Every structure is written in C-alpha cells, then in structure tokens.
Amino acid sequence: MLATLSRLPKDSILGLAALARADERSNKIDLTVGVYMDDNGLCPVMRAVQEAQQQLVQAEVSKAYLPPQGDPTFVAEMPKLVLGAGHRALVETRTATIQTPGGCGALRIASEVLAVANPSAKVWLPNPTWPVHEPLLGSVGLKFARYDYYDYATHSLNFERMMQDLQGVKAGDAVLLHGCCHNPCGADLNAEQWQIVADLLLERGAIPLIDIAYQGLGDDLEHDALGVRMLASQLPEVLIAASCSKNLGLYRERTGATIFVTQSAEHAETALSQALGAARRLYSMPPAHGAILAGKVLADAHLNAMWQQELQSMTQRIQGLRNQLSVALTAATDCDFSFVAQEKGMFSFLGLTPAQVLQLREEQAVYMLDSSRINVAGLKDATVEPLAQAIAGVLR
Ligand SMILES: Cc1ncc(COP(=O)(O)O)c(C=O)c1O
C-alpha cells in the first residue's frame, strides 16, 4: 500500500537551509531560516531559560502527563504576556488558554475550533504570508480568501489595497493578522491602521485570528502587542496563536498557546472544551519541558527581568543590523534601501529577482529565500558589508 504513495517535494525553506548547511565555502552567509542568531552565529539558550532549566532539573520528580490544558503556570501567564495583565478581557474572565506544541500547534488548534464554530468560515490570509499558514489551516478544511498586504514596488505595507480587499469580508469569516514583525515582509500596521481594521471587523461580525510569533522582537513586549490588545478590548471575540519559539528561544521545545477571547466566561469555557477536544484527537497531551520553563520565566520576577533584558538586547541587535544593512546597501548600490531600517522583526524582502538570488547563492555563497526574503538576525556585524557588496555585484 505504501508503495502507491507519491513523494512530496521537500519543504522549500528547509531544503534551502540544508543546502546552506552543506556549503563549506568560508564566506557563506546563511539568511534562510527564521531563527535568531547571535554575533557568533549561535541560536542561544537564553540565560533566564538556562536558570529555569537548572531549577527544573533539580526539582522534577515525575514525568507524568501534564494536565491536558498544559502547565498551569504557563497557561496563567501567557494571556497576561500577550494581552497585558490588566486587560479587560482578563479582568472579566472572558478568556481561555490552552498550551500547544509551538505557534504552529496554536494556529492549528485555533483553526480546528474555528471550523467547528463555522465550517463555512473563509479565512482571509495576507498576501504575502508565512507559507505554512495555508497547509496548517487548510488541512482543517477551511477555505481561503486573500487580501493584498505588501507593495513590492514601494517596499511597504499597502494599507489602501488591504482595506479594499477586506471589504469582501463577511459575517463569520476570520481574518488572519500578524500581531507584529510580519513574516515575510517586516511591514507592520500602526495604531491608526489597527483601529481601522478593528472597526471593519466589528462592523462585519468577523473574527480576527492573530498570529503573534515575534512579540518583543519588533520594538518591545508592550508595543508589539498593541494590535492584539486593541482588538481584544474592542471586539467581542478574538483568536490568538502565540509562540514562545522566538522570544524565549524555545524553538525545539515546541511551546505556544492558543488564547480565546470570548463574549463571556461561559463561552470561554466552551471554547476551551472544543480546544481540548481538538488537542485530544490530534496529539492527546501537550509537551512539558518548554512550557514549564516558559512558565517559570514569566512568573518569577527575577527570571522575568533577566529574560526581558536579554530579549531587549536581541531586539536592539536586530535593529542595529537593520540600520547597518540599510546604510551599507544604499552606499554600495546607489539604490534606496532605507526600508530595511524601518521594518520590524527578523525579516525583509530585499527586492531581488529569483535569478539574482540564485546568482548570489552560486557565486557568493549567500543564501536567502527565492523571494529574496532574508532573516536579518542571521547577519553578523562582519557580514553586513560583504553582503552589501555581493548584492551590489548582482545588481550591476
Ligand atoms: C509567522 C509565524 N507564525 C507562527 C510560527 C510558528 O512557530 P513555532 O511553531 O515554531 O512556534 C512561525 C515560525 O516561524 C512564524 O514565522
């Protein structure tokens, strides 16, 4: 029977990352996968996470299952992190949170519940978006519509087109929004634009599905959550998929949460029961290690302060690299790359053609996605200028 299967193509990002890893040229610059790297090219275990891990190793006496909803401390802390501790939805106990295997698991649980609530819901995805959104949500059976988001010509958000497209949203639809640090383009909504989106969703009776995978890596933990907090205070219902992969550096520990903001405490309980049902049929029990660490870091004042300090220094490093790259590219190419400094988070489209991207890979050992999306956090101080020169070479 298995002999009848046809082979799927490799995931393009992971395939490219493998190609980059195998490249032994000493001048290699790998900007493919969305993982934060320090200036030594290492994706570090954050200090607060290390300390929490030592505490855990010393105190852990059992590997029995966690409760199906997840580690209680983690589940209590995550909505406070995302929504802010005094948020009215929390005060009014109109939220429910379930721990999930990473942000991917959070998106999947959110979409499972959405599909039960409204099987004919259309999910509006930004164009472009993170390529995994479609398979993650689509395999639940949800249908998609697209809204234009990014203008490749001006290297910026095309808010006018976005709102034109969103005029097609109907009651019961869901609109996927990147909470901050849009992947792949780095162009985010400002407060005024979030408000316009909130007004439209309220008027239409549509629900936002907010994917927040980079909280803290754009400006800071508070500012990056501005949109999600605004929508959660103005709309009766919000679905939130949060990830601890990037801001706590817990990538491989698969740590995330789905947060349901609902109209009442009773609706929150009902949504949670559906989420637990979905988790039970998908993977039964949540993984423990990452969520216990994240819970400790978030709940303990000393670890939390240590974590926030390190996170802020990572964010400043990314912003510093953006500024350096913007200056170096503009100087080397005579083109305006100031947009690189204005975007948020780890990603940017450099505006190169697939042929130029291929040339960079083959001739200069520079790896980026075919779309010319780079992970800015994959750069080092020492590789900014060589990258700018390599790009200038292919643009000449
Ligand atoms: C936009 C976006 N959403 C969600 C995720 C999910 O991340 P994870 O499942 O590793 O927590 C990612 C990871 O790259 C992402 O870029």
**CB-ligand 1 contact for 186 (6 Å cutoff):** no
Residue in 196, 222, 198, 223 with CA at minimum distance from that of residue 210: 198
Print the domain residue range for 285: 65-299
- With beta carbons less than 8 A apart as the criterion, state whether 217 and 224 touch: yes
User: Do 294 and 318 belong together in one domain?
Assistant: no
Question: How far apart are alpha carbons 180 and 188 in whole angstroms?
Answer: 6
Kind of pairing between the strands at 29-30 and 366-367: parallel
**CB-ligand 1 contact for 211 (6 Å cutoff):** yes
**CB-ligand 1 contact for 103 (6 Å cutoff):** yes
Strand locations in the chain, DSSP E? 29-30, 95-100, 122-127, 143-148, 150-151, 156-157, 174-178, 207-212, 238-243, 256-261, 347-349, 366-367, 373-375
Asked whether residue 209 is assigned to any structural domain, the reply reads yes
The pLDDT score that the predictor gives to residue 351 is 94
Residue in 95, 104, 65, 83 with CA at minimum distance from that of residue 222: 83
Asked whether residue 59 is assigned to any structural domain, the reply reads no
User: Do 161 and 85 belong together in one domain?
Assistant: yes
User: Do 282 and 134 belong together in one domain?
Assistant: yes
Domain end position, chosen among 238, 264, 299: 299
State which of 12, 82, 188, 245 you would mutate to test the pocket of ligand 1, scoring each by most atoms of that ligand within 8 A of its C-beta: 245
* Dist. CA 378 → ligand 1 center (Å): 16
User: Do 81 and 10 belong together in one domain?
Assistant: no
- With beta carbons less than 8 A apart as the criterion, state whether 31 and 378 touch: yes
* Dist. CA 144 → ligand 1 center (Å): 19
Asked whether residue 161 is assigned to any structural domain, the reply reads yes
State which of 36, 82, 130 you would mutate to test the pocket of ligand 1, scoring each by most atoms of that ligand within 8 A of its C-beta: 130
Asked whether residue 56 is assigned to any structural domain, the reply reads no
Q: How many domains does the chain have?
A: 2
Residue 156: partners with Cβ closer than 8 Å, 6 or more residues away: 150, 187, 339
Domain end position, chosen among 272, 299, 326: 299
Q: What tokens does 295 get?
A: 């819970």
User: Do 128 and 213 belong together in one domain?
Assistant: yes
- With beta carbons less than 8 A apart as the criterion, state whether 237 and 208 touch: no
Asked whether residue 104 is assigned to any structural domain, the reply reads yes
* Dist. CA 209 → ligand 1 center (Å): 14
Q: What tokens does 385 get?
A: 């200028």
Question: What's 271's domain CATH number?
Answer: 3.40.640.10
Torsion of CA 372, 107, 101, 113, to 10 degrees: -170
User: Do 265 and 179 belong together in one domain?
Assistant: yes
Q: What tokens does 327 get?
A: 């200056």
Output the tens digit of pLDDT for each of the chain's 396 residues: 999 999 998 888 888 989 999 999 999 999 998 999 999 999 999 999 999 999 999 999 999 999 999 999 999 999 999 999 999 999 999 999 999 999 999 999 999 999 999 999 999 999 999 999 999 999 999 999 999 999 999 999 999 999 999 999 999 999 999 999 999 999 999 999 999 999 999 999 999 999 999 999 999 999 999 999 999 999 999 999 999 999 999 999 999 999 999 999 999 999 999 999 999 999 999 999 999 999 999 999 999 999 999 999 999 999 999 999 999 999 999 899 999 999 999 999 999 999 999 999 999 999 999 999 999 999 999 999 999 999 999 998
**CB-ligand 1 contact for 256 (6 Å cutoff):** yes
Peptide linkage before 67 cis (omega within 30 of 0): no
Rounded alpha-carbon distances, angstroms, from residue 301 to 47, 289, 296, 297, 308: 14, 20, 9, 8, 10
Question: What's 349's domain CATH number?
Answer: 3.90.1150.10
User: Do 86 and 216 belong together in one domain?
Assistant: yes
pLDDT tens-digit series, residues 130-145 = 999 999 999 999 999 9
Domain end position, chosen among 299, 325, 341: 299
Q: What tokens does 96 get?
A: 């429910």
Asked whether residue 51 is assigned to any structural domain, the reply reads no
User: Do 335 and 262 belong together in one domain?
Assistant: no
User: Do 41 and 69 belong together in one domain?
Assistant: no
Asked whether residue 118 is assigned to any structural domain, the reply reads yes
Asked whether residue 338 is assigned to any structural domain, the reply reads yes
User: Do 162 and 232 belong together in one domain?
Assistant: yes
φ/ψ of residue 144, rounded to 5: -115, 150
**CB-ligand 1 contact for 245 (6 Å cutoff):** yes
Task: State the number of CA atoms in the 13 A half-sphere of 255 facing the CB.
Answer: 23
- With beta carbons less than 8 A apart as the criterion, state whether 271 and 264 touch: no
User: Do 198 and 74 belong together in one domain?
Assistant: yes
Peptide linkage before 128 cis (omega within 30 of 0): yes
The pLDDT score that the predictor gives to residue 202 is 97
Residue 190, Cβ neighbours under 10 Å: how many?
11
* Dist. CA 330 → ligand 1 center (Å): 31
Rounded alpha-carbon distances, angstroms, from residue 43 to 226, 230, 234, 338, 377: 27, 32, 37, 27, 10
User: Do 211 and 273 belong together in one domain?
Assistant: yes
